[in-house]
Structure 1
Amino acid sequence: MLRGRSREVEALDGLLRDVRGGRSRVLVLRGEAGAGKTALLEHLISASAGQVCRAVGVESESEIAYSTLQQLCAPLMGRLDRLPEPQRDALAVGFGLRTGDAPDALLVGLAVLGLFAESAAERPLLCVVDDVQWLDRMSEVILTFVARRLDAESVALVFASRSPGDEEILGGLPELRVDGLSDVDARALLDSVLPGPVDDRVRGRIIAETRGNPLALLELPRDLTPAELAFGFGGQSVTPLVSRIEDGFQRRIAVLPEDTRVLLLAAAVEPLGDVPLLWRALQRLNVGPDAAVPAESAGLIQLGARVRFRHPLVRSASWRSAPPALLRDVHRAFAEVTDPQQDPDRRAWHRAHAVLGLDEEVAAELEQSADRARSRGGHAAAATFLERAAELTSDPKARAARALAAARSRFAAGEPAKVPELLAAAEIGPLDPLQRAEVERLRAQISFTVGPLLAAARRLEELDLVAARETYLWALGAALQCVDTDDPRMAAEAGLAAPAGAEPAGALLTGLATWVLDGSLPSLSPVPEDDLSLLRLTVPVAQEVWDDGAWHRRTELAVDAARRAGALAVLASALTFRADVLIHAGRFADASALLDEAKSIQDATGLAGDPAAGLILAALRGEDQPVDAAEGRLAAVASHARAVLCNGLGQYAAAVKAATRAAERADLGVTNWALAELVEAAAHAGETAVAATARDRLAERTSAAGTNWALGTQALADALVTSAEDRYTEAIERLDATHLGLLTARARLLYGEWLRRENRRVDARAQLRLAHAAFTAAGATGFADRAGRELTATGETVRKRSADAVEELTPQEAQIARLAVAGRTNPEIAATLFLSPRTVEWHLRKVFTKLGIGSRRELAGALR
């Protein structure tokens, strides 16, 4: 019985009921060490009638890529051949089962999701992960990714994480707090382990100090003498509770026989619970099976099919209290019994911790392990191997090279805070000029400041011109985000002063730098449409040159290429950029689904996101989303979104102020939008001079582009300033030829408003009906209401949507339905949307029910 845990047990039992009923559930138990999370997991496992997979995060292996994930998936690997080949290969390479190109985390995540779904197709699956604060980075990324996509697979994924301090791990997933017991339950639990009469004040002090922590209530009385228990002599401790519990375990370990202490240490060092491997290592240490008896009798460990510690703090207590020499001996024993062919990386890791002093042979082995870790997608693990390799290296030049390689891997792993120390270590040894330039470049990339990036680029000019131009482009990109308006000019001048290059980065550098200096439009033609490396610049350039076709094609190709390559970082950006296109096409639901997907990737990987598309979508929906401390280009984006919101709500004076702020400086891909909003706001606010000036500034930008988007926007601005009807009709005609349906609707709204003011009510109704329908269908609430008010003013009654209207499809259901109409199979849809085929099938059944149809053949007609 779990005393005082009825609420938690009820929640876990409900989770199992849902899973048995065909739905997936995810839960994170959070509580301090000893709060009872592990006991609750054991209850969950014992109550489950399905398959169970379990894993435990281990501090000593928290830097080895996929180590915890491999523990969890080990019982399911027999179903690996059921997965699509790319996913199967990615998981096999990630787990080191075969060699191959580095798999991206996305493909590994899809493979794990598929593996869970395939296993649960037979009977419900329970996956339990304890001590997630020690998860390696790649396991955390994959498990977070999978947790966000489980739906209809009959899978329960339950984690236990220590708090406070680890709330960011698995953030955003459903949580259950595991707090201390109530005073009544705490007193009852304490009384169950007290050996005899106890002073009430002592009992009260123990309960107060432990704050109802169950493990502390069971363990701390062991450290009190009979006199302290009976009479209360002894002071109150100020040591943190976790340390006191661990100290208590250390004292219990210290009185065990020497061989038993060695056995506990060996079990703590070996994280997989591999009993045969443990016994082989103990044999090298001259420790026999009888050594386990005292540890099992003391309730510290269980040896069965796998090794199980009573509590994770027993493992850490054994490991932390071991003499360094003994710890090295244990690692040496494991290195000797670990198969170098089957598990070379773990063998190298043990050898590295068995060495005292320098050892080039082990350092070289670690360097090879780093290469394998990198090929498996584990940059953080590669960095850890390289850091230890550098520590063991005697040759100063090789030591510096390995430290620099470790810094490079830390930066690639998204851990910039750990890079400066490694760069400092690299600089101690002799570096050649190219290595010194790379050190400078890494420092500049971490700071993302213009000056250091330019300095690094100048140094690289003498050594590697392609790398130099890439760094100049990086500096220019950073400058375009800055508040200081001199930075872009400085970066542009420096970039143009360097020898020009015809490669995509070099050509884009020349075009962007020229645009900064004299306003001439950069060209996108030198950059292939499926080039993902320059996506963050080519997309805003497409907007700057008014090329909606390139904007549409590049974002569509980027999402597809990033999905196929499994490039998570690029995919998050591509999804955001694609969402922006869909917003202006009037496809808000699809855009929202892509933004949700991008957000889940950013949450899982810790990547920073671009808020621009989300801000514009909220503004068009009539929602105000203020941005805190916005500076540079982000300030312009936020002001532009504010102008859109206010124009939609008819708050034209406020829109003028916001659009003026957004158009103050030339921000790549922002100023064009801001000037168009300013013309509309000023014309409606009666500020004719402001509208005319903004119209003229806009003309300078649109005339050079000559696209339908540019000329249609300019025609609309001219119509607002001059009231020329032919300019309204030209604007509608040109914008209707683009991919930007929402802009066409806005042009119709403005034309309809002008017609109504001219008392041409019949003509006005025709334009306003089309605009109102488009805004309503998209979900552009503010503009729909504005068009509705204009329609009402023409004498037409605007119908409001009925509350009992037919239930609509969710954005995800709509995506699945469209892909099904396009002929995609369930597995193909699942791979596209990062879902399992069972979840796709479940959503399709809901779609059929909502649309009143019975098969895929009827989908196309029902959607029309």
Structure 2
Amino acid sequence: MSLVGRDGELRRIAALRERALAGSGGGALLIHGAPGAGKTALLRTDAPGFLVLDAAGVGAETDLPFAALQQVLMPLAADLDRLPPAQAVVLRRALETGDDVPRFALCVAVLNLLVLAGRRQPVLVRVDDADVIDVASRDVLAFAARRVASENVVVLATATDLVAAAATGPVLPGVERLPLPGLDVAAGTELIASAGLSHEVAIELVRLCAGAPLALREVAGALSVEQARGRAPLPVEFPRGSRIRRAYDTRLRALPGGARELLLVLAADPEGLDLDTVSELAAEAVDAADPDAADAAEASGIVHVVDGRMRFRTPLVAGSVYRGVSPERRRAVHRRIADALDPVRPEHRLRRLWHLAAVEPSEPLARELADAAEEVRGRGDHAAASLASERAADLSRDGAELLLAAARDAWLAGRPHRAGVLLTRLRPAPAAVTTGGRRDLLRGQIELRAGSPAAAHETLLGASDRLAARDRTAAVVALLHAGEASFLTGNLRRYVDISLRVLALREGGEPPERELMFEYAAGMMALFRGRHTEAVRRLRNVVDLVPRTDDPTAMNWGTLAALMLGEESLALGLTERSGAVARARGQLALVPRTLELATFAQLWLGRYNGALASAQEGLRLAQEAGLDNSVAFHRSLLALFSMFQGDDDAGLRHAQAATAIAAERGLAMPHSMSSWALAHRDLSAGRAADAAGRLRAVATAGGGPGYVTGRVLTAPHFVEAAVRCGDRTGAVEATELFGRWATSTGSTAARALLARCQALTATDPDDAEDAYREAIRLHQLGDSDFEHARTELLYGRDLRRRRGPSAARTHLRSAHDTFDRLGATAWVEQSRAELRATGEAVRPVETRLEGALTAQQLTIARIVAEGATNREVAAQLYLSPRTVDHHMRNIFVKLGVRSRVELVRLLTG
């Protein structure tokens, strides 16, 4: 059975079951998590081959001793006579009368009964809601669960997160626990993909429901059409009558009065309260019989402390608590919180005003809120600034500017759905042209990262027209973003037209930041027109101006200029600076773009560990913020890295996901990078014609003159593929295209690749050898070990054919060792094949294992034999720990070994 986002947990359970089915012993797990986390679904997965014994906690039977034990053992009633007579008597008495019996004797009897049954057929005991079953049964089952590791018995149980604070004591103490957290953004959105929601809405629902599968399904199914499309605010509480609401209502009712009162206070503050304030309010909320309200609230699992603030784990639970009382009580709670906050402390001022606005709304209070929002905005707390600006707008006669500020803050905080809903409140367009232009600029920026670049292009052009006369800087920003939208879709003719519009706004004597933008537009336009000398001069000016700005977006334009100049180390340094500034200012929406550029710079530098880490972090942040276009870019890069390392399965998954988004949105770069990844796989497997075909398609894709950037990037691989399949004309044309860029930038890494291309296309063997030697010399000055090894492999292959085996071995050994160190398994195999052709001996153990293991598995096995853990192997080979775990299981099965010790002996024997 497949449960979305639960692969790791399913593997843990499957491992226990497989042990029992193989007769190697059993074990026990306690699966625990919040209501609606999917504990029961995980527990009830199919278990063929087992005798299944089920029990479930029922509130009405909690006080009936041995009620749950009777459920579990009922199918084994006929086996009671197989027990020693004294044990059978004790067990029958407990099950038939519920009377207290010698507890140890009972525990031993139950254990023996399960063991006897397990000798006939593996036994699976499943206890749902173990925190609800009667205490007597729980104690006996815990005793048995702790002792079945050597028997063919598996015990699985579930409990809510109340397990640590159950009034009747801990649940199944001593049993290994399997926590079940909420689904992450990727799994959560996949779960509700069929609900017809916009992607931003789906992501916001994952946050509101804390990733609980049951909550996600029920809330998604209750949305209106406007809510599902992101045009109306989402619910603030669970649907009335829903299962998830009933589960939390039951949980809330079980809390003492003081804890419930404190939860109401916390529900009135969307950002949570600091612990000092919580302590003060808790002291007010309690009476002599309820002295530990704060501790009880936290122990319930409904709230937790994050960054010094207590807040609800699941925002919709807070909404249910808040909406569950009268408006008068809500106002009283807001008043209490406001009175507890110190108006002198800067960190309390905005929150105090926000709560006062719920009690005594007024125009003067709106102005104070707007001022306080500006203060926290300066400290990088855009989420708080957005809430304050929205409330100030609600209290103002004309709140358009405040709503726009609230939307901008929401966007920067990584909440595009909230930003979009706030912007809908500014429709129809505000009377003020400038406000309308800045609204469209923000809409266009959001669309550029999270929606359709084509729609973003039109919106941004309109914004520029409205802003040009009153805010020239904003108008230029709008046009540059519109140009980026054209670049993303590969329409470079339109990009040039937009650049001309940017330059038409230039007046001379511009401040540094605006001058940077003008020079950037001029430089990129020259580059795409093929005027490389002018492009280098203009882009060099951009790089020189970057130190005079502290705007992350302007720094990203500087980074792009550095990349186009072939100055990857400088570009990487700029991404580090822009990323640090964006994070310090709380501008989370800008970070994924910075990480795109950082990944790209590290890719060219050959720093694959760093590039992989940047791409993985960028993917995570982009998914969490709903920035689909950035998701596509990061996935395409991860596809490329996976193919480099020979992890075809992961590479295909990333490439397919990136291509799907690219096709839907018309994105050029993710399409090009995914094609590059797939072509790399073909090339490493010897399918040169397929690789050439993919990369040739990159040059002609899109509605414009082609994906020029993608074509330049992939040219070295295309040249190799084209030469190997006999297309020398195409290879020469690609070499000339790449050469114009590489020579204009002066980049060492680019010139090394150009020399390799020239070697591959040379007609004179002496010219080819000179070019190979120049390529290796330049590689030695740079950082790209991977491309250096590929050049050595090509050179060694050429030398073996022209001058014999002895001339080739040194280069082939060097290539083999580098590929081996990097874990590039497909290329290890190619270099090994070439070494064999020279008569180079292969280690006997490897010879035996190569027939049994794939190249990837052999590489992993060798690294493990050197003492590396699975996590260390994953880091070294740029794989996920999950992928390494999967390979290790297959290695053990294929080689017939049962432990890492046996594997080491085999490999070194």
The TM-score, its normalising length taken from structure 2, stands at 0.57
- Give the secondary-structure state (helix, strand or coil) at the position aligned to 1:650: coil
Q: Which residue of 1 aligns with 2:566?
A: 546
* 2:263 and 2:321 in contact (8 A); partners too: yes
**For each residue in 1:485-537, what CA deviation from the matched residue of structure 2 results, as whole angstroms up to 9, or x when unmatched?**
54323323322333165532222122112223345334244225667434544
Matches within 5 A, 1:204-243: 239-242=241-244
Instruction: Please tell me the residue identity of whatever aligns with 2:392.
Output: A
Tell me how far apart the structure 1 counterparts of residues 209 and 320 of structure 2 sit (CA, whole Å): 26
Aligned partner of 1:623 in structure 2 is 647
- Tell me, yes or no, if the aligned pair for 1:535 and 1:574 is still in contact at 8 Å: no
Q: 2:373 corresponds to which residue?
A: 370
What is the match of residue 509 of structure 1?
Answer: 521
Distance 1:28 1:605, change over 3 A: farther
Q: 2:414 aligns to what SS in structure 1?
A: coil
Q: In the superposition, relative to structure 1, how do residues 589 and 797 fare at CA in structure 2: closer, same or farther (>3 Å)? A: farther
Q: 1:550 to 1:635 in 2, by over 3 A?
A: same
1:729 aligns with 2:773: yes
In 1, the alpha carbon distance for the partners of 2:540 and 2:320 equals: 60
Aligned residue among 353, 360, 366 for 2:358: 353
Deviation for aligned residue 1:655: 0.7
Amino acid at match of 2:419: V
RMSD: 5.1
Structure 1 equivalent of residue 673 of structure 2: 637
| Selected match of 1:328 from 327, 331, 342 | 331
Q: 1:319 to 1:700 in 2, by over 3 A?
A: closer
Q: Give the whole-Å Cα distance in 2 for the aligned partners of 1:263 and 1:709.
A: 62
Are residues 757 and 168 of structure 1, via their aligned partners in 2, closer, same or farther at CA, if it must alter by over 3 Å? Answer: farther
- 3-state SS of 1:627 partner: helix
Provide closer, same or farther for how the CA distance between residues 589 and 809 of structure 1 changes in structure 2, counting only shifts above 3 A.
farther
- Separation in structure 2 between the aligned mates of residue 507 and residue 352 of structure 1, nearest angstrom: 47
**Counterpart-to-counterpart distance in 2, 1:403 and 1:252:** 41
Q: CA–CA distance in 2 between the matches of 1:247 and 1:808?
A: 49
Closer/same/farther in 2, CA of residues 737 and 561 from structure 1, 3 Å limit: farther
Distance 1:446-1:533 versus aligned 2 partners, 3 A rule:
closer
1:806 aligns with 2:806: no
2:829 to 782, 785, 797: 785
Report Cα offsets for 1:217-236 as digits up to 9, x if no partner.
Answer: xxxxxxxxxxxxxxxxxxxx
Question: 1:656 touches 1:681 (CA, 8 Å); kept in 2?
Answer: yes
SS in 1 for 2:446: helix
Q: Does the 8 Å contact 2:429/2:436 carry over to 1?
A: no
* Correspondence list, 1:477-516, <5 A: 477-484=484-491, 486-499=493-506, 503-516=515-528
Give the 5 Å matches for 1:654-693.
654-664=690-700, 666-667=706-707, 669-693=709-733
CA distance in 1, matches of 2:563, 2:625: 28
Alpha-carbon offset, residue 653 of structure 1: 1.0
Match of residue 126 from structure 1: none
Cross-structure match for 1:533: 553
Does 2:822 align with 1:773?
A: no
- Quote how far apart the aligned CAs of 1:452 are: 1.6
Query: Percent identical across equivalent pairs?
Result: 26
Task: Tell me how far apart the structure 2 counterparts of residues 305 and 260 of structure 1 sit (CA, whole Å).
Answer: 4
SS at match of 1:663: helix
* Closer, same or farther: CA 789–483 of 1 in aligned 2, 3 Å: same
Pick closer, same or farther for the CA change 1:764–1:658 going to 2, 3 Å.
Answer: same
- Indicate if the aligned counterparts of 2:516 and 2:541 stay in contact, CA closer than 8 A: no
| CA pair 446-695 structure 1, distance change in 2 beyond 3 A | same
Does structure 1 retain, via aligned residues, the 8 Å contact 2:564–2:745? no
Partners of 2:206 and 2:358 in 1: CA distance: 31
CA distance in 2, matches of 1:413, 1:575: 17
Check if 1:755 corresponds to 2:799: yes
2:413–2:588: 8 Å Cα contact kept in structure 1?
no
Change over 3 Å in CA distance of 1:44–1:637 after alignment to 2: farther
Letter in 2 for 1:755: L
Flag the 1:27–1:760 CA change in 2: closer, same or farther, 3 A.
farther
Determine the structure 2 residue equivalent to 1:460.
467
Q: 2:746 and 2:265 mapped to 1: Cα distance?
A: 73
Q: How far off is 1:542 after superposition? A: 3.8
- Alignment partner of 1:613 out of 620, 634, 637: 637
Map 1:544-583 → 2, pairs under 5 A:
544-551=564-571, 553-554=573-574, 573-574=593-594, 577-583=597-603
How far, CA to CA, are the matches of 1:488 and 1:314 in structure 2?
48
Q: State the match for 1:795 in structure 2.
A: 839
- Distance in 2 between the 1:477 and 1:684 partners? 36
One-letter code aligned to 2:757: A
Could you tell me which runs of 5 or more consecutive residues in structure 2 were left unpaired when the two chains were aligned: 1-8, 14-30, 39-58, 60-128, 130-158, 172-178, 186-201, 216-238, 303-315, 449-455, 847-858, 877-909
> Runs of 5+ in structure 1 lacking a partner?
1-6, 12-25, 49-128, 134-139, 142-162, 179-236, 283-288, 297-301, 817-864
1:464 CA displacement: 2.5
Structure-2 change in CA distance of 1:380 and 1:551 (3 Å): closer
CA distance, structure 2, for counterparts of residue 722 and residue 805 of structure 1 = 43
1:607-631 CA-to-partner distances (Å, cap 9, x unmatched) read: 6443243222112112332233134
**1: distance between equivalents of 2:736 and 2:797?**
23
Q: Rate the CA distance shift 1:344–1:269 in 2: closer, same or farther, 3 A.
A: same
For residues 413-433 of structure 1, the C-alpha deviation after alignment (integer angstroms, 9 at most, x for no partner) is 222233344345446796544
Assess if the C-alpha contact under 8 Å between 2:335 and 2:356 holds in 1: yes
Relative to 1, partners in 2 of residues 1:760 and 1:544: Cα closer, same or farther, differing over 3 Å? farther
Query: Counterpart of 2:358 in 1: which secondary structure?
Result: helix
**How many pairs were matched up?**
606
- Counterpart contact for 2:607–2:783, Cα < 8 Å: no
Q: Which moved more, 1:600-609 or 1:416-425?
A: 600-609
Which residue in 2 is equivalent to 1:401? 401
Task: Tell me the CA shift for residue 675 of structure 1.
Answer: 1.7
- What code does the residue aligned with 1:476 have? G
Higher relative contact order, structure no. (Cα contacts within 8 Å, ≥ 6 residues apart) = 1
**Kindly tell me: are residues 518 and 696 of structure 1, through their superposed partners in 2, closer, same or farther at Cα, counting changes over 3 Å?**
closer
Query: Residue 650 of structure 1 is aligned with which of 675, 686, 695?
Result: 686
1:666-721 per-position Cα deviation (integer Å, ceiling 9, x unaligned): 54643222122111101011222322332333344344345444443333222212
**1:848-863 to 2 correspondence within 5 Å?**
none
Residue 690 of structure 1 aligns with an amino acid whose one-letter code is: G
Change (3 A) 1:519 1:377: same
- 8 Å Cα contact 1:702/1:711 also seen in 2: yes
* Contact map agreement 1:267 1:307 (CA 8 A) in 2: no
Q: Identify the residue that residue 150 of structure 1 maps to in structure 2.
A: none
Query: Is the Cα–Cα contact under 8 Å of residues 434 and 467 in structure 2 kept in the other structure?
Result: yes
Partner Cα separation in structure 1 for residue 614 and residue 771 of structure 2: 35
What residue number does 1:232 align with? none
Please, which moves more after superposition, 270-279 or 399-408?
270-279
Q: For 1:627, give the aligned amino acid.
A: Q
Q: Secondary structure at the match of 1:447?
A: helix
Cα 1:768–1:567 change in 2 (3 A) is farther
| CA distance, structure 2, for counterparts of residue 406 and residue 546 of structure 1 | 40
CA gap of 1:584–1:516, structure 2 versus 1, over 3 A, is closer
Deviation of 1:386 after TM superposition, in Å, equals 1.3
Residue 370 of structure 2: SS of its match in structure 1?
helix
* Residues 240 and 31 of structure 1: CA distance in aligned 2, closer, same or farther (over 3 Å): closer
Rounded to whole Å, the distance in 1 between the matches of 2:784 and 2:379 is 42
